[in-house]
């Protein structure tokens, strides 16, 4: 009996299009008609691994080079994502991977493991804005840079900013949204992040542009927002200092007019959603607006095992309905909900094009396994958004009733 028999039958039943399958023992033509791609298996994948998690077993095999694809990786994964409901996931066996600690220390480690790989790495394949979230493509010819600027303006216009307002960005990344809000809308901005590399770069840019009186960034957990009057920490040790003008105003009892959070709630954890919104409520003025931009799912689930293990440890994608259902508990009114799912497909395709253009350089620095892992991540996410496995939503809400806004978007 062939040692590859179970794996061969597994792939036959999983892949819905004709393809060629090559093992060390045999060559197979699977399905009727011309093959869409060629799969080469260099080392058998055990049955127990496939039954434990389809994505983890196949993903690890691809990372290690035990599974090779002759054809565009995105096209193959786009085919597979249409069959994702047939993927195996043994939640009991994967419990430790799918349900990690929600403590501050652990979540900080999980976040920094992804975002602190190095600014130079992200600079290779993000655009000049260093925006690591979905762009906005009104047309196919829009460049990635223009799409990221457009996304940022799309968000800021929804917030109806006025000069002198105070804007908080929870999970501010490298700070492009805040810098644009300060420069083009005349607001004063504060950003918070757990990523030390992002914090250091944004701090240097603020100082270099002499924007200290208008813009600040702090290295802090969102949970500290509920304790502004009691917290004083040191940024270099992984925490924040409270010696800045805007921060001191807040500690004196003032709050933010507007709050935005882009791609951050995915790191909060399902059990902490209530606390997250309570913290936002603590520092948002009555009538103030909060825009939440997040990857969403159609239904609630614990996440993909391969993504959880290798890309976003601890990451959980909320469903749209569970987020919207929480808002009345803190007196937030839902004003606007918009899906940008197809915009994220294009964004990820742009990122992958940039990534592959620098593949040799990335491999030289991080190794072949790391490069294959990140290529798999970018291609699989693009395919997942294309098939609606995941979505991207922007939800605009107000704290209490706000009758001062325009009546149309």
For residue range 257-283, what is the model confidence (pLDDT) as tens digits?
Answer: 999 999 999 999 999 999 999 999 999
Which residue among 134, 255, 279, 381 is the active-site one?
381
Give bridge partners of residue 339 from the DSSP assignment: 393
Residue 350 a catalytic site member: no
Mean pLDDT of all residues in 175-184: 98
pLDDT at 387 over 90: yes
pLDDT at 247 over 70: no
- Mean pLDDT, rounded, of the chain: 93
pLDDT at 253 over 90: no
Least confident span in 23-27, 39-43, 201-205: 23-27
Give bridge partners of residue 332 from the DSSP assignment: 399
The more confidently predicted of residues 26 and 346 is 346
Give bridge partners of residue 217 from the DSSP assignment: 191
pLDDT at 409 over 90: no
CB count in 10 Å sphere of residue 178: 28
Task: Name the pLDDT band for 228 (thresholds 50, 70, 90).
Answer: low
With a CB cutoff of 8 Å and minimum separation 6, the contacts of 4 are 23, 24, 25, 26, 41, 44
pTM: 0.93
pLDDT at 206 over 70: yes
How confident is the model at residue 166, as a pLDDT? 97
Phi-psi region of 210 (alpha: psi -120 to 50; beta: other; left: phi over 0): left
* φ, ψ (nearest 5 deg) of residue 282: -60, -30
Give CA–CA dist 116/4, Å, rounded. 40
In which element (H, E) is residue 291 found? strand 284-296
How confident is the model at residue 252, as a pLDDT? 57
How confident is the model at residue 246, as a pLDDT? 65
Cβ–Cβ under 8 Å, residues 299 and 251: no
Token duo for residue 407? 């009546």
């Amino acid at each position: 009996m062939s040692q590859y028999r179970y794996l061969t039958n597994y792939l036959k039943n999983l892949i819905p299009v004709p393809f060629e399958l090559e093992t060390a023992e045999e060559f197979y033509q699977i399905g009727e008609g011309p093959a869409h791609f060629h799969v080469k298996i260099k080392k058998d994948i055990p049955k127990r691994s496939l039954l434990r998690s389809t994505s983890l077993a196949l993903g690890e095999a691809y990372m290690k080079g035990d599974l090779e694809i002759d054809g565009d990786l995105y096209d193959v994964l786009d085919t597979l994502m249409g069959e994702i409901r047939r993927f195996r996931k043994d939640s009991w066996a994967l419990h430790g991977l799918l349900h990690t600690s929600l403590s501050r220390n652990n979540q900080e480690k999980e976040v920094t493991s992804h975002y602190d790989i190095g600014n130079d790495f992200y600079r290779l394949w993000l655009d000049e804005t260093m925006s690591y979230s979905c762009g906005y493509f009104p047309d196919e010819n829009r460049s990635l840079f223009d799409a990221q600027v457009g996304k940022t303006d799309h968000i800021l216009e929804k917030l109806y900013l006025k000069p002198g307002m105070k804007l908080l960005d929870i999970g501010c990344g490298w700070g492009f949204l805040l810098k644009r809000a300060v420069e083009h809308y005349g607001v004063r901005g504060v950003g918070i992040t757990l990523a030390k590399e992002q914090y250091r770069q944004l701090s240097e840019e603020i100082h270099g542009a002499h924007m200290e009186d208008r813009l600040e960034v702090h290295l802090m957990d969102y949970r500290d927002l509920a304790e502004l009057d009691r917290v004083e920490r040191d940024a270099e040790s992984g925490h924040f200092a409270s010696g800045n003008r805007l921060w001191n105003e807040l500690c004196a009892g003032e709050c933010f007019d507007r709050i935005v959070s882009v791609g951050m709630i995915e790191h909060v954890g399902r059990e902490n959603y209530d606390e997250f919104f309570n913290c936002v409520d603590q520092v948002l003025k009555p009538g103030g607006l909060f825009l939440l931009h997040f990857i969403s799912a159609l239904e609630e689930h614990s996440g993909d095992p391969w993504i959880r293990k290798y890309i976003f440890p601890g990451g959980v994608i909320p469903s749209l309905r569970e987020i919207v259902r929480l808002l009345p508990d803190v007196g937030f009114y839902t004003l606007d909900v918009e899906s940008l799912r197809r915009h994220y497909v294009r964004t990820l395709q742009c990122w992958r094009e940039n990534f592959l253009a620098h593949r040799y350089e990335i491999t030289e620095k991080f190794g072949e396994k790391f490069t294959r892992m990140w290529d798999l991540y970018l291609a699989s996410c693009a395919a997942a958004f294309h098939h609606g496995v995941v979505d991207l939503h922007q939800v605009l809400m107000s704290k209490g009733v706000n009758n001062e806004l325009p009546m149309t978007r």
